[in-house]
Structure 1
Amino acid sequence: MKAALLNYPFELVAPMVAIGSVLLLPLGPLLIPRTYIVFLLIYFTVFLYTQVNHVFKFYTTATKMTKTIREWNLRSSKSNAEKTDNSTTSPPSPTTTRERITSVEELEEMETALNPQDDSHFIHAFIVPNYAEPEALLRDTIKRLANHKNAQTNYVIILAMEASEVNYEQKSNSLADYFKDSFLQFIVTAHPADIPGETRGKGSNVAYAARHGCAQMLQRGIDRRRVILTVSDSDSSIPELYTNEVEKAFNRAEDPYFLLFAPPIFFSRNCYEVPAAVRMTDITWSAMVMSSLSNSAGLSFPCSTYSLSMVLAERVGYWDTDADSVGEDMHMMLKCFFKTDGLARCCPIFVPINLTNVQTPGYLANMHARFVQAKRHYNGIADLAYTLRNSFGVKDTMLDGNHVFASLTANKTSMYAAPSFWLDKLVMCTKVMEAHLIPVTSGWLMFAAVPLMQFILFPPHSMVAFVEPSENPILTSEFYSNLWNIVKIITVFLPLPLFGTLAIYEHLHRVVDRELYRKSESRTWRNIFDYISLPVAAWAFMTLPATIACIKRLYKTNDKYIVAEKFFDEDNED
């Protein structure tokens, strides 16, 4: 109780920032004009610097994505060519083969030399949480996994249903029957709606499914060290290249059981069937995720789809299920980071996961559906208080679940828990604040701060003057007058990093569509008109929902479990 009271001030940070951003617009020029100018100068300068930095990081991510895709295509074409050549050549006789392998040591060397992608020893367990999603969409998502080469021998599907969904059993039984011979194991879980202390949503569904799914795999005798859990959205199109790259990164890592593997997200499945503002919102969203992945220290966050070992999931007590963990992807990375004393890191996997834009019949209905989705996404602001509390607050005493395999990493924890953990915590706080406070502040300040201050202190006519020229604190000081001019100049450059990001994205989108997904249709020069909708997208799907989510932290409402509506035509899907 005492810890909760001491930690409570961290809960006020987000709502105070949101309210302060709005109140500063009229009150700043009137009450503290000089201080307000200094604040705007610092805010806009820092914002411009971070956005320019993100452009370079995004370019790095885009370059690595392109390289990964093209190397995969090259290997695939070589493999196909070799198969064609081998089919025309008679296989060696058994006698010849036995003559070549003269000892057990040679046999072991030969097995070691085999490509691990050809005979993977990893078990990939895909958790697919869903609630009231179209069965056709789920079938399509799982079917894409079933088409992977090792699906029957190395893939486990954990279909995470909600028990409160009407006729969920009929849907899950239909899917289980459809894929009965496609995977090593097909597990169905039904998350109850009345578990005390839980907040319903993706996080609690994933937590329930992971615990029960992992228990079933262990009962079957599967070694937990071989299991890689992948959390997938119901509309995630996961290419085989992703699992290959995860395995490659896992094998190369010094401490793979401390890693979360995070791919970029990509929206191309139905992007031409939604309003331009919806399309542009998801493009900028995916670009922000991509830029954050190119962090040399591994201090970044997964989004939507990501992977981690069963060992790490058990070590931290699986996923949290309370009201402060609704943003389950970022929250899980933060939880792993804090529960391992800063050892957990995010490992980028440069393979895009193709998602579906929110889609409903009707233009305005589609816009409203995206707004509802944005409000749900920005409820992840709860992670700000969680991060501050774990970095600077009084920690509550709690159990981290069943640490069955903590002994694997116990020595490394004590050996590498260096003082840099404190610096890493500061970096994580900065990144969480950037992710959640920039949307709620930038919309108000970037769009309205300078014009409103110009109107209040330098009105177009004396009849609407709020301050007499002789008492104007800007006009009476050459220093602050120069600062004000600098602020106005900086605001001209603020949109430029966004334009640079979008220019890189335009090229990247075409590469991914044509070279990875083999789509004949991609973005064209006509899509340049999408950019006209950017101001609408920024306000409707970023600033307003982020502000609402921040202010709601004052009273912490328990929202209903809703999902973004998606229209899905299985026959027309590529």
Structure 2
Amino acid sequence: MGHFTWCSRCAGGLSMLALIGLSYWVISRESMVENYGFIVYRGASTKDGSYSSKTTAAGAGIWTFIFAYYCLLIHFLVALFPLRACWSIWAITKLLKQSAQSRALQDYKTSGLRRQSSSSSITSSETLSSSDSDNVFSTASEFTDSESELFAEGNDSARSSPVIHAIVIPNYKEEMETLRETLDVLASHPQAYSCYDVYLGMELREAGVESKALSLVQHYVKKFRSIDYTLHPADIPGEAAGKGSNLAWAARKLSSNYTMSIRKNVIVTGIDADSHLSSRYFAQISNMHMDTIYKETASTTLYAAPIIFDRNAHSVSAIVRVADILWCAAGMSGLYSSSVIAPPTSVYSLPLELVDRVGGWDCDSEAIGEDLHMFIKCFFAVNGHLTCRTVLSPVSQTNVSGGGNGGFRGALMDMKARYKQAIRHMWGALDSGFALRKAFEMWKDRKHTCRAFRPLHKTGRGDSLDGYFPEAQLEAGSELPTENDAFSDITRDTLKEPHWEHIFYLAHRLFEAHFLPLHMMILVVASTLYTWVTEGGEDPNNLSWIFSTCKVLRPMGLVEVAVYMLIYESFHRVCVSARERDMAQAGLADGMCFSHRSLKQNFIDYFLVPAVALLYGTLPCAQAEISHFWTADLEYAVSKKAVRQRAKSVTIEDVV
């Protein structure tokens, strides 16, 4: 491993040590000034053998300025994040409410059509719901009259989309009931039979996995366009066990099922084993992908959706529930209308052409956070010109559970399981180093204007065509390959110049995710010590206003988080109501739980925010970044999921 690779991998840990060293140096020097009033520096010896000396009260000098202004910057960024999250969740909630109203009206108008619709078409109500929102979050343009006409009722192109959705469900030792529930939800979609190709990304290490996969395939074979499974081998050198490796293996296998002529209309979606998606999620993606307005960017677009933990929040401890609410904030903070950087959380979709372009998913230990890792990989593959579009259809998830039966012991088990999940999240700090290396590679190749790639399944180990190579490797000035040519499956593409503004925004988001939690805690302690040792001093550097401002920004940030939680109440209510309605229409509501929130009964959640920030933000961040000094490997463990319950909907009030 080269020095640059190691340093980039340990960027978080190195920054932590540098900040601690800076804080110690500044505080210790200022403490000496306050105690003695001066510092004696010995100079060179004179002719008579004595030493010249001088006194100063400058303390740590320029390092004090660096410490103070960096402290102000960090406090400002911490206060900025919840503001962005509030704006994003408010905008999403507003549009979800509008969409729900339109959908309710359309359901009434087309109730007869809904009863007659077959499983091979998209109903007009779903088409209408996507028209209400799918373009609102586009970074390319605003909603136009032509788009309204495209999604109007009765439009055949919207009802029978040529888009094929290749849905990959990577899983390892997941309970059969969890997988069945997820497949039941997908199978209930009107377009499932005509548009969904489902791939179960299984692990060969799991005992009895093939019979498990065959049982699922046999049960659902008539409910989708196709359903298949893949078995990821356990003995591939350099591959780490996890969601990313299963997804990568399944993607390589599914790639061979699509010819060059239809690949441009294949959308690959990776979901967790417990993710529940509405039919509107896929309908909106189909409409956006086929819209002529987005034709130029269709092959370089990544689709992300907000997530919500609305299935078993009533049965886990409050601190775990709040941790996941704040995790939703992190995911949604980039999904507002003008955002050009929108990293996905757990569930996302991208065209198969884009998967080909980047050579699929990485499988090494640094790719454990495969969603952000794939986003960064796609981002730099197009020199920062990746298009991000938000799908206005929240993804239902379950809170991690420790398997306890309630009480104090059960709460501790839940908290322990959530901390392990937080370690996996913070292990993604490796992606900051990955982004540094990709940025360096992009800088070296910044003059390249053309590249080419082959289908993912044609680029295996030992293949000279690695799926992403300079155009110079092809014969200069050659004609485009013909259908019978040996290189007929090569796609050539023109590269734009690096988009430095987008790269700056990405750097900010990565810093916010992987550096900010730990740096904030260090500076809260360090700035408190600094003001303590300098209290009553003369403040010759005129820096006291900075630390006074920081004292104001801290409680301001907590107030902003409280505002986010208040808006989240409305967001949660809208999402749960929509999912209840969808599941009732699909006949699946009796087998599921719906966690409703109440501000009156959930007031305790608001007071747990500081504890959650420390327990599931700062501590796992520090543990992960310290561990990266000697290893990038993390043992893969499956989180326990809430399984289907044959019970009525449960509310928080019932539990309390």
With the length of structure 2 as denominator, give the TM-score of the two structures.
0.74
State whether residues 280 and 533 of structure 1, in contact with CA within 8 Å, keep that contact through their aligned partners in structure 2: yes
1:311-334 deviation digits (Å, cap 9, x = unpaired): 111121111112222211111111
Q: Which runs of 5+ in 2 are unaligned?
A: 30-59, 118-149, 405-409, 446-463, 470-486, 582-592, 650-656
- Is the aligned partner of 1:322 residue 2:353? no
Q: Which moved more, 1:120-129 or 1:64-73?
A: 64-73
Distance 1:344 1:406, change over 3 A: farther
Name the CA distance, whole Å, in 1 between partners of 2:340 and 2:547: 38
Matching residue within 257, 263, 279 for 1:240: 279
Q: Residue 605 of structure 2: which of 511, 521, 530 is its match?
A: 530
Deviation at 1:454, TM superposition (A): 4.5
Q: Distance in 1 between matches of 2:200 and 2:631?
A: 30
Q: Please, what is the CA RMSD of the aligned residues? A: 3.0
Instruction: Determine the structure 2 residue equivalent to 1:274.
Output: 316
Of 540, 548, 561, the residue aligned with 2:623 is 548
Distance in 1 (CA, whole Å) between partners of 2:432 and 2:395 is 26
Q: Find the aligned partners of 1:356 and 1:155 in 2 and give their Cα distance.
A: 23
SS of residue in 1 equivalent to 2:334: helix
Counterpart of 1:431 in structure 2 is: 509
Q: What's the offset of the Cα at 1:477? A: 3.4
Distance (Å, rounded) in 2 between the aligned partners of 1:551 and 1:50: 25
Separation of aligned partners in 2, 1:556 and 1:378: 14
CA separation of 1:211/1:527 partners in 2, compared to 1, >3 Å: closer, same or farther?
Answer: same
Among all aligned residue pairs of Structure 1 and Structure 2, give the percentage whose two residues are the same amino acid: 29
Choose which of 182, 186, 191 in structure 1 pairs with 2:227. Answer: 186
Partner in structure 2 of residue 97 of structure 1: none
Does residue 159 of the first structure (1) align with residue 213 of the second (2)? no
Structure 1 residue 363 and structure 2 residue 447: aligned?
A: no
Which of these residues, 542, 547, 557, is aligned with residue 494 of structure 1? Answer: 557
Could you say if the C-alpha distance between residues 50 and 523 of structure 1 is closer, same or farther in structure 2, counting changes exceeding 3 Å? closer
Match for residue 11 of structure 2?
13
Deviations 1:466-507 (A, max 9, x none): xxx6xxxx4443823343333323333221221221111111
CA 1:191–1:377 in 2, change beyond 3 Å: closer, same or farther?
A: same
1:128-175 residue CA offsets vs partner (Å, 9 max, x unmatched): 001111110111011100011121222111000011112212321221
Name which of 289, 293, 307 aligns with 1:250.
289
Distance in 2 of aligned mates of 1:77 and 1:22? 62
| Alignment-derived partner of residue 484 in structure 2 | none
Flag the 1:84–1:198 CA change in 2: closer, same or farther, 3 A: closer
- Superimposed CA distance per residue, residues 250-296 of structure 1 (whole angstroms, 9 cap, x where no aligned partner): 12223211111101111001111001011001111112211211152
* Distance change (3 Å), C-alpha of 1:258 and 1:405: farther
Residues 82, 112 of structure 1: alpha-carbon distance in 2 compared, 3 angstrom cutoff:
closer
Asked if the contact 2:243–2:370 (Cα under 8 Å) also holds between the matched residues in 1, the reply is: yes
Once the two structures are TM-superposed, the CA of residue 449 in structure 1 deviates from its matched residue by 4.0
Which residue number corresponds to residue 90 of structure 1? none
1:347 is aligned with what amino acid? R
Alpha-carbon contact 1:58-1:292 (below 8 Å) kept: no
- SS of residue matched to 1:157: strand
Q: CA 1:456 to 1:173, structure 2 compared with 1: closer, same or farther past 3 Å? A: farther
Q: Which residue is equivalent to 2:145?
A: none
Structure 2 CA distance, aligned partners of 1:454 and 1:124? 58
CA contact (8 A) 1:37 1:487 kept: no
Quick one: distance in 2 between partners of 1:402 and 1:385? Answer: 21
TM-score by length of 1: 0.84
In the aligned structure 2, how far is the partner of 1:41 from the partner of 1:377? 27
Given residue 367 of structure 1, which amino acid in structure 2 is its aligned partner? M
Question: Letter of the aligned partner of 2:169 in structure 1?
Answer: V
Structure 2 distance, partners of 1:358, 1:62, is 25
1:520 deviates by 7.0
Task: Report which of the two has the higher share of helix.
Answer: 1
Shift of 1:400: 4.4
Deviation at 1:218, TM superposition (A): 2.6
Structure 1 residues 116 and 267: CA distance shift in structure 2, 3 A: farther
Residue 558, structure 1, aligned to residue 597, structure 2: no
For residues 395 and 244 of structure 1, the distance between their equivalents in structure 2, rounded to whole angstroms, comes to 38
User: Does 2:187 match 1:146?
Assistant: yes
Instruction: Trace 1:142-541 onto structure 2 (pairs within 5 A).
Output: 142-215=183-256, 217-218=257-258, 223-252=262-291, 253-254=294-295, 255-294=297-336, 296=338, 298-359=340-401, 360-361=403-404, 362-392=410-440, 400-401=466-467, 410=493, 413-414=494-495, 417-418=496-497, 421-446=499-524, 448-458=525-535, 474-477=537-540, 479-518=542-581, 522-524=596-598, 525-541=600-616
1:186 CA drift (Å): 1.1
**In structure 1, what is the Cα distance between the partners aligned to 2:116 and 2:357?**
48
Letter in 1 for 2:168: I
